[in-house]
Amino acid sequence: MDLISTNGLPRADRGAAWAALYATRMSKCEFTPGDTDRFDAELRITQLGPVKIARHAMDRCSVERRRSDIVIGAPRLYNFLLQAEGTGTFYQCGKESELTPGDFVLCDTGLPHFFKTEGPAVNIMVRVPLKILSTYLPTPEQFCGQRLGRAAGLTGAAAAMVRELGSGQGPGCSPLDEERVARYLLEMISMSYTSGNAPLADASAIAWQRRRDVIQFIEDNLRDPDLSPALISARLRVSGRHLRTVFASGGEKILAYILRRRLEECARQMSNPAWSMHTLTEIAFSWGFNSSAHFTRTFHEKYSVAPREFRRRALERSVTKHS
């Protein structure tokens, strides 16, 4: 077992110090503590055959993996993230999942994502390489960012098993048996994800994989004000018609997806006290908007409130909740 914690780290800028230490064991990302004067965290890692079990306990914070944190061409790794204690919100691929104890969410570490807790929380991650995961979930991109509720399928049994493995005790068996335990665990979680979804035909699976490539390009370039279907087609070297066909599998048009994601990212930063010194225009323009009027109008259409009022209410809730 490998154990690291914030013990011994300087109090000043502890979030950055923890991020650097965390990156040596897991993935590079940014930690923003909810309380700059107090932030503690602990990471406990156990290897189980081909998968890694990582129990991460932390005080209230947000965790973000940006495009700049991702190494192009690195081996693809996925996390089944169990919300073991506390509550949290996870964002990836345009999906938002509110997590309570016993819920899972699937994360592709090769794509940007964001997670925040509303208080002290414990997550247990089951990290698995794509080559192994695809044996159980041929199209994992279909489920990234999607909440798996604790009442679905075998989720309860899988959660109990992950909690036990995350305790650091390990199964106490031979390497061969550890691999069997790991594969049994992956099968339980995967079956829970697929039980409510019909298996995809080969053609549909290919379409989902191509759609993931489009989404990754959009997420990587969401801040670019010139992002458009024409730019995507040119960069990915596909026709506009093919692009529309591939993206249609998700039930949302490309321009609508781009606008929704930009608004969601703006709303997220507007709700974060760490961004309170930035103007609404600065936030909007940093996410690809080039017109304050267009941003204000589309934001009101989505959230039924003006951006300034949305921000005021969100920051007030944050102060009330943690006072």
Q: What is the pLDDT of residues 113-161, one digit of tens each?
A: 999 998 999 999 999 999 999 888 887 888 889 899 987 778 899 999 9
Give the per-residue pLDDT at 320: 66
Give the per-residue pLDDT at 321: 63
- 3: helix, strand or coil: strand
Dump pLDDT digits (tens) for 274-313. 888 999 999 999 999 999 999 999 999 999 999 999 999 9
Give the per-residue pLDDT at 84: 96
What are the phi and psi torsion angles at 304 (to 5°)?
Answer: 60, 30
CB of 288 within 8 A of CB of 225? yes
**Which residues does 220 contact at the CB level (< 8 Å), separation at least 6?**
67, 112
Q: What are the sequence ranges of the domains in the chain?
A: 2-194, 202-322
Which positions of the chain have pLDDT values less than 50?
199-200, 202-203
Reported as type and span, the H/E element at residue 215 is: helix 202-220
Reported as type and span, the H/E element at residue 256 is: helix 254-270
Query: If you average pLDDT over every residue of the chain, what do you get?
Result: 88
CA distance 239 to 150: 42
Please state which of the four CATH numbers 1.10.10.60, 2.30.40.10, 3.40.50.1820, 1.10.10.10 is assigned to the domain occupying 202-322. Answer: 1.10.10.60
Give me the numbers of helices (H) and strands (E) for the chain, helices first please.
11, 12
- Domain 2-194 falls in which CATH fold? Jelly Rolls (2.60.120)
Percent of the chain whose pLDDT exceeds 70:
92
Give the per-residue pLDDT at 322: 57
